[in-house]
Amino acid sequence: MAEELYELDENLPVNPVESLLRMDRMPHIWCPGCGIGTTVNCFAQALESSGLDLRKTAIVSGIGCTGRVAGYLNLDSFHTTHGRAIPFATGLKLANPELKVVVYSGDGDLSAIGGNHFIHAARRNMDVTVILINNSTYGMTGGQVAPTTPMTAVASTTPYGNFESAFNLPALAESCGAVYVARWTAFHVRHTTKAIKEALLKKGFSFVEILAPCPTLYSRRNKLGDGLAQMVYYRENSEIRHGADTKDVALEFQGKIIVGKFVDRVRPTFGEAMDRYLRERLGADYLPATAGGA
Closest approach of another protein to the CB of residue 9, in Å: 6
Indicate whether 24 belongs to the interface with another protein (CB under 8 A).
no
Which of 134, 136, 193, 222: binder of another protein (CB under 8 A)? Answer: 193
Binding-site size, another protein (CB under 8 A): 42
Q: Based on CB atoms, which residue is closest to another protein, 40 or 121?
A: 40
61 lines the binding site for another protein (CB under 8 A): no
Contacting residue, 24, 32, 160, 285, with another protein by CB under 8 A: 32
Give the separation between CA 185 and CA 205, rounded to whole angstroms: 20
**Site for another protein (CB under 8 A): which residue of 48, 226, 264, 272?**
226
Closer of 3 and 285 to another protein (Cβ): 3
Q: Does 45 bind another protein (CB under 8 A)?
A: yes
Least Cα distance to 123 among 161, 178, 76, 77 occurs for: 178
- Interacting residue with another protein among 25, 95, 142, 190 (CB under 8 A): 190
The stretch among 14-22, 86-94, 128-136, 203-211 that binds another protein (CB under 8 A) is: 14-22
Report how far apart the first and last C-alpha atoms of the chain are (Å, whole number): 56
Query: Any contact of residue 29 with another protein (CB under 8 A)?
Result: no
Query: Binding another protein by CB under 8 A: which of 12, 284, 287, 291?
Result: 12
Told to check if 176 binds another protein by CB under 8 A, we report no
Per the document, the length of the chain is: 294
Mutual orientation of helices 189-201 and 36-50 as an angle, nearest 10°?
50
Residue 236 burial (CB < 10 Å; 0-12/13-18/19+)? exposed
Interface ranges with another protein (CB under 8 A): 1-2, 4-7, 9, 11-18, 21, 26-28, 30-38, 40-42, 45, 187, 189-190, 193, 226-228, 231-232, 235
